[in-house]
Amino acid sequence: MTKNEILQLLPYAPPFLFVDTIEEIDAEQVTGTYTFRPDMPCYQGHFKGHPVTPGVLLTEVMAQVGLACLGIYLSGDEIKEQLPAVAMTASQVDFYLPVLPGETVKAQATKIYFRFNKLKCRVALYNTAGEIVCEGIIEGMIIKQKNG
Amino acid sequence: MDKETFIEQLREIVRPYAKNQEALAGINANTDFITDLKINSANLVDVVLDVEEKYDIVIQNEEMERMLNVQAAMDIVEAKLKEK
């Protein structure tokens, strides 16, 4: 499956699509990038007069790259026929640096396991200076709709 | 392996994932992982992976789908151990 096909199969759309590019992907790991547009509404309130990207959105970038993109890649052609539902089932993330409006981040995820439709990954997010912004472990499930 | 030993071992495996401690204390062959112990479907995968590790067996997708209570887990593990 090509990087472009994976992006097309992602179940997200703006304003909740948080992957711009997939840089590298194989059965064990994935890297992808996202740029936080300065006009995103969340910056008006997080925080008052002091815009900082919310941690939940940093986690979301890691989940969309590390769970959704890699999960689609690992599921292969079987999901092309019917788009599955996905759900993040757990996350444990430590945050180190703020991400400001306009910054581009790179998410890196390494598979811990993919069994019984559950993907668990070690994830990290880096800024353009290569500094670590946050890291942790996230997991999610692919929920296949039963036919009939 | 007798039934009591298996249930005791399984209790320790599910302990980190069980939300209902009362049901965990009273675990028996009829205990359902999801409705009684309140384990979610994502953590049930970890229970199955931990069972695989503990008994050095490999559980297939269709067996995983059936492994919803203590009795089913015991039947699957026993069958796997006999195959070895």
| Average pLDDT of span B7-34 | 96
Among A residues 33-92, those touching chain B with beta carbons less than 8 Å apart:
89-90
Looking at residue A148, what is its pLDDT? Answer: 39
Which of A53, A58, A57, A7 has its CA nearest to residue A30?
A7
The reported pTM is 0.93
Q: Which domains does chain B have, with CATH numbers?
A: 3-83 (1.10.1200.10)
| pLDDT for the residue numbered A143 | 84
pLDDT digits (tens, 9 = 90+) for A19-42: 999 999 999 999 999 999 999 999
Phi and psi at residue A131, in whole multiples of 5°? -80, 150
CB pairs under 8 A between A and B: 21
Tell me the torsion sign for CA atoms A140, A76, B46, A94: negative
For the packed helices B3-14 and B70-83, what is the interaxial angle rounded to 10 degrees?
A: 110
A43-91 tens-digit pLDDT = 999 999 999 999 999 999 999 999 999 999 999 887 877 777 899 999 9
Tell me what percent of chain B is helix, strand and coil, each rounded to the nearest 5.
60, 0, 35
CA distances from A24 to A27, A34, A82 (A): 11, 14, 25
Any catalytic annotation for residue A46?
A: yes
pLDDT 10s digits, B36-80: 999 999 999 999 999 999 999 999 999 999 999 999 999 999 999
ipTM here: 0.90
Are B40 and A89 within 8 A, CB to CB? yes
- 3-class SS letters over A23-73: EEECCCEEEEEEECCCCCHHHHCCCCCCCCCCHHHHHHHHHHHHHHHHHHH
pLDDT at A146: 57
**The pLDDT value given to residue A145:** 65
Q: Give the C-alpha separation, B84 to A73, whole Å.
A: 34
| Domain range annotation of chain A | 3-146
| CATH class in words for A3-146 | alpha beta
B6 min Cα distance to partner chain A (Å): 23
